């Protein structure tokens, strides 16, 4: 099995206990929870028993060590997670409104994540990897973009593969270098994992069917469309498979896409049948939303087996 590497942000998430508007008064909070989309992805991949490493940077503080210890315990190679003496670990404060919208206070751009780059340790894990997973949301600084594009060229040059989850929030496209980087990553992607809405941002096409045809025509091996609680769809040149989601009670939606993606990538790299990989990924996404905290809903292969054996797919 080829070792997977991902490059991107580590943060802690601190959540408001009660819904309401913003943080302009003292409120009850819970956390810190380990977080960051690529961190959740790589933790879930490790829980599938797949060899993997993360390139990132944290401060020499409790929030950083909380994340490193958690990833290490779950089996991630943390040798390329730099601990920076003069920087602070990233954080995100989140509060839900009654409407379901969220208010955030972020400390990410000016956190230790701003020091992610091609250290000797990063080059070493990239040299040992056979697969790169890219989170679009991580392409937020010139140094991360440089590291991701370097890893992409290196790994593809050796005959390795690339998966890409755009994971875009609209406010991010304000960073002009990001749009160009997303397109460069897509050009090197084998397995593309957008949500239904994101697909059309990457194709010059009027609808989903035309967009899928166009992207497959450009050389992508497969596209997996995430449809939230409705499940997911796998499309390649010769297969088109839809799989319903599982019925669960949603407690916290953060991390579902990352757990889904990691489980699908693990199945795909292990040569599982796409229908089986899709079923397991849907199960992982469903389990992810049942726990409060972005990384608290990760699941091992045994937990997925038990859940699938007892769960009820939505008709």
Q: Choose which of 87, 222, 256, 279 interacts with ligand ATP (CB under 6 A).
A: 256
HSE-up (13 A, CA, CB side) for residue 35: 23
Q: Is 293 an interacting residue with respect to ligand ATP (CB under 6 A)?
A: no
- CA-to-CA dists, residue 103 to 24, 63, 86, 154, 208, angstroms: 11, 21, 28, 39, 30
Q: Choose which of 63, 234, 260, 307 interacts with ligand ATP (CB under 6 A).
A: 260
Q: Is 262 an interacting residue with respect to ligand ATP (CB under 6 A)?
A: no
Q: Choose which of 51, 90, 114, 255 interacts with ligand ATP (CB under 6 A).
A: 255
Q: Is 242 an interacting residue with respect to ligand ATP (CB under 6 A)?
A: no
Residues 132-151 that bind ligand ATP (CB under 6 A): none
Q: Is 274 an interacting residue with respect to ligand ATP (CB under 6 A)?
A: no
Are 131 and 269 contacting, i.e. CB atoms less than 8 angstroms apart?
Answer: yes
Q: Choose which of 20, 49, 228, 313 interacts with ligand ATP (CB under 6 A).
A: 228
Binding piece for ligand ATP, criterion CB under 6 A, among 2-10, 17-25, 226-234, 302-310: 226-234
Are 112 and 57 contacting, i.e. CB atoms less than 8 angstroms apart?
Answer: yes
Q: Is 229 an interacting residue with respect to ligand ATP (CB under 6 A)?
A: yes
In the complex, what is the shortest distance from the CB of residue 61 to ligand ATP, in angstroms, rounded to a whole number? 26
Q: How many residues bind ligand ATP (CB under 6 A)?
A: 22
Q: Is 300 an interacting residue with respect to ligand ATP (CB under 6 A)?
A: no
Residues 166-195 that bind ligand ATP (CB under 6 A): 167, 195
Query: With respect to ligand ATP, which residue has the nearer C-beta, 32 or 255?
Result: 255
Residues that bind ligand ATP (CB under 6 A): 167, 195, 226-229, 231-232, 245-246, 248, 250, 253, 255-258, 260, 282, 285-286, 289
């Amino acid at each position: 099995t080829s070792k997977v590497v991902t490059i991107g942000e580590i943060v802690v998430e601190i959540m408001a206990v009660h819904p309401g508007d913003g943080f302009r008064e003292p409120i009850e909070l819970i956390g810190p929870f380990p977080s960051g989309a690529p961190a959740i992805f790589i933790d879930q991949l490790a829980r599938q028993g797949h060899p993997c490493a993360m390139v990132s940077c944290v401060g020499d503080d409790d929030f950083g060590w909380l994340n490193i210890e958690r990833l290490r315990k779950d089996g991630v190679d943390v040798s390329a997670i730099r601990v920076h003496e003069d920087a602070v670990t990233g954080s995100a404060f989140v509060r839900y409104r009654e409407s379901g919208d969220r208010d955030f206070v972020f400390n990410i751009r000016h956190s230790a994540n701003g020091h992610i780059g091609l250290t000797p340790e990063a080059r070493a894990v990239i040299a040992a990897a056979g697969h790169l997973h890219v989170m679009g949301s991580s392409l937020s600084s010139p140094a991360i973009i440089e590291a991701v594009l370097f890893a992409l060229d290196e790994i593809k040059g050796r005959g390795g593969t690339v998966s890409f989850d755009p994971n875009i929030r609209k406010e991010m496209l304000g960073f002009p270098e990001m749009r160009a980087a997303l397109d460069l990553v897509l050009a090197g992607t084998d397995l593309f994992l957008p949500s239904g809405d994101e697909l059309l941002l990457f194709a010059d096409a009027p609808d989903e069917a035309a967009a899928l045809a166009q992207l497959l025509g450009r050389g992508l091996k497969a596209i997996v469309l995430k449809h939230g609680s409705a499940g997911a769809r796998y499309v390649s040149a010769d297969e088109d498979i839809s799989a319903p989601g599982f019925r669960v009670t949603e407690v916290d939606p953060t991390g579902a896409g990352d757990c889904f993606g990691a489980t699908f990538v693990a199945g795909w790299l292990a040569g599982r049948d796409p229908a089986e990989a899709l079923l397991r990924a849907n199960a992982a996404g469903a389990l992810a939303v049942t726990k409060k905290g972005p990384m608290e809903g990760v699941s091992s292969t045994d937990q997925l087996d038990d859940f699938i054996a007892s769960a009820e797919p939505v008709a």
